[in-house]
Amino acid sequence: DAGVIQSPRHEVTEMGQEVTLRCKPISGHDYLFWYRQTMMRGLELLIYFNNNVPIDDSGMPEDRFSAKMPNASFSTLKIQPSEPRDSAVYFCASTRLAEKLTDTQYFGPGTRLTVL
Amino acid sequence: KQEVTQIPAALSVPEGENLVLNCSFTDSAIYNLQWFRQDPGKGLTSLLLIQSSQREQTSGRLNASLDKSSGRSTLYIAASQPGDSATYLCAVRVVNSGGSNYKLTFGKGTLLTVNP
């Protein structure tokens, strides 16, 4: 398996622009997570899905952030409008129910977002 | 609210040295604790997972311990090698009555450098 795939790997945009980050989880995984990592706050969970349904979005910082999972093999995280403080590395991770007891989450390589 | 702290933030050691990384958490009602490794520009890779009922887990040169009552965990690395250089993060999963809470709370990590 190719692992969790994220695109783009790097994104540089200007303040006010819309940004869309994409994630393809590992085939067969039924949980998908979006995280954000910054020096100041570390790694934070933004939202997670189970069987394409958002379960907990309490980590989403504000209404400018939205996430969707239209099918089991694709998810997006959108920021509109983007602000410089959104600059961070955004990770997607996935896991499957059968691995619940071990809690192993498989992380993608991340998208480094820079908002100028 | 669960908070996870890792000390030290950075550690530099000569090759061959044994070392200990520390992790503490504020709420002892955890489901499990996990240690991850993160290489520069990469995602996270799970190293060891300790269930709340366990005291330690071992994998090769790595040994992780858990003292839930005191809210502490340590990651022991024996005979360190330059290839061990990375950021090490610990994460706890909190207890949820429905067993469906998949939220992990992460520490900010310890940046380890092993010098040849």
B43 in contact with A at a CB cutoff of 8 Å?
yes
- Dihedral sign computed on CA atoms, order A82, A83, A88, A94: negative
Say if residue A100's pLDDT is above 70: no
**Least CA distance to B44: which residue of chain A?**
A107
Q: Is A103's pLDDT higher than 90?
A: no
Residues B22 and A104: their CA atoms lie apart, in Å, by 21
DSSP A36-98: EEETTTEEEEEEEEETTEEEE-TT--STTEEEEEEETTEEEEEESS--GGG-EEEEEEEE-GG
The DSSP code for A26 is P
Query: What does pLDDT average to over chain B?
Result: 92
Asked if A69 has any chain B CB less than 8 Å from its own CB, the reply is: no
Q: Would you tell me which residues 32-61 of chain A have a C-beta closer than 8 angstroms to some C-beta of chain B?
A: 33, 42-45, 48, 50, 55-56
Cα–Cα distance for residue pair A84/B53, rounded to 1 Å = 43
pLDDT in tens, B13-53: 999 999 999 999 998 888 889 999 999 888 999 999 998 89
pLDDT band for position A2 (50/70/90)? Answer: confident
**Who has greater pLDDT, B62 or B52?**
B62
Question: Phi/psi at B84 (nearest 5 deg)?
Answer: -80, -10
| Alpha carbon distances (Å) from B30 to A10, A110, B75 | 35, 27, 18
Q: What residues in B contact A56, CB-CB < 8 Å?
A: 101-103
Length of chain B equals 116
